[in-house]
Amino acid sequence: MKSSAIAHSNIALIKYWGNWDKVSPKLNIPLNDSVSMTKYGFSESIHLQTHTTIEFSEDFKENEAILNNNPLKGRDMERILKIINPLRNLKKIDYKFKMMSFNDFPTQAGLASSAAGFAALTIAAAKALSLDLTQEELSTYARLGSGSAARSIHGGFVYWYQGISHETSYAEKICGSYDFDINAIIAIIDEGKKDVTSDLGHELAKTSIFNPIRIKKSHEQAVEIKAAILNDDFKKVGMIAEKNCMFMHSVMMTSEPALFYWSPITLKVIKKVLYLRKSENLDCFFTIDAGPNVHCLCRPEIIEYVQNILENIEGIEKTILVRPANDSYTTNEHLF
């Protein structure tokens, strides 16, 4: 009962921010539909992926989880159990498990490491338990660890339906990694752990007066961006993603207490992207998750040109080039 899986991180084009409190907040049912691109880092050794091995055995006395050589305890272990417990129940066993996981990129730095991590965990655990689940069902279990992990089950471009229950809040693939030609440059400003976790941020979303309008617009934008992706309309995708990002950050900045994930360098990158669009007529757009780092979206033809410009901004530690990732997968390469 041992299995391994590799899953990738994703960047939200339409953001998930805040949980629906009509159902249990523990289920991570979002306030709106969201859309993402699952991403593969191709510039260097950082592929933005998590490799996880899990084994269940009646001989194990304790549950054990290790991430990047560090044993996980407390809240981290609780989040793992939120996925493993229901899967063990489905299989009707109560064996303890050992899990080992490696991220090839910074953890909790706004690069969606939890999305890749919980997606890899779900896929590996379901296989180790010989559970025959669809991709959509897998996404509901990954969601219990971290909402955005629901989307990382799939490669390419992904639509996560808000839903009204555990079963109906699932992610579905819009199209594959080769169906829409888009790349991104991640301008890394800070690789450190973020000060305010997205968990706390989700709770604060409802304290912003702008949240209801963000929810309404996000639903509309999710539908619009899906159509634009399927129509290969890059400009439209970029414009919608950028607007939606600003809606989320407006909610963050007007929450009580206010959340500022940006650094002054974040604003410099935003201004540079706007300048490139206006003065050089380049189709590039920005989006930012819950951290200071900026994803600059562009077509593959101009990626190196834009990368060079971003790398010359003072304060940019480095850049990572990404393209749409293929599906997550199981592998026979076990970590123990």
105 touching ligand PMV, by CB under 6 A? no
The distance of closest approach from Cβ of residue 17 to ligand PMV in the complex, given in angstroms and rounded to an integer, is 6
Footprint of ligand PMV on 287-316 (CB under 6 A)? 289-290
Which positions ≥6 away from 195 have C-beta within 8 Å?
none
State the Cα–Cα distance between residues 265 and 245, nearest whole angstrom. 17
State the Cα–Cα distance between residues 333 and 27, nearest whole angstrom. 31
Footprint of ligand PMV on 17-36 (CB under 6 A)? 17, 34
Length of the chain: 336
152 touching ligand PMV, by CB under 6 A? no
Residue 41 near residue 321 (C-beta atoms within 8 A): yes
Residue 96 near residue 60 (C-beta atoms within 8 A): yes
Interface mask toward ligand PMV for 204-243; x: CB under 6 A: ----------------------------------------
State the Cα–Cα distance between residues 185 and 187, nearest whole angstrom. 6
The distance of closest approach from Cβ of residue 98 to ligand PMV in the complex, given in angstroms and rounded to an integer, is 25
113 touching ligand PMV, by CB under 6 A? no
Among positions 15, 214, 249, 272, the unique one binding ligand PMV when judged by CB under 6 A: 15
Task: Read off the amino acid at residue 97.
Answer: F
Q: Which stretch binds ligand PMV (CB under 6 A): 48-56, 69-77, 90-98, 146-154?
A: 146-154
148 touching ligand PMV, by CB under 6 A? yes
Instruction: Provide the β-strand partners of residue 159.
Output: 35, 172
183 alpha carbon, distance to own chain's centre:
16
Among positions 41, 117, 147, 156, the unique one binding ligand PMV when judged by CB under 6 A: 147
16 touching ligand PMV, by CB under 6 A? yes
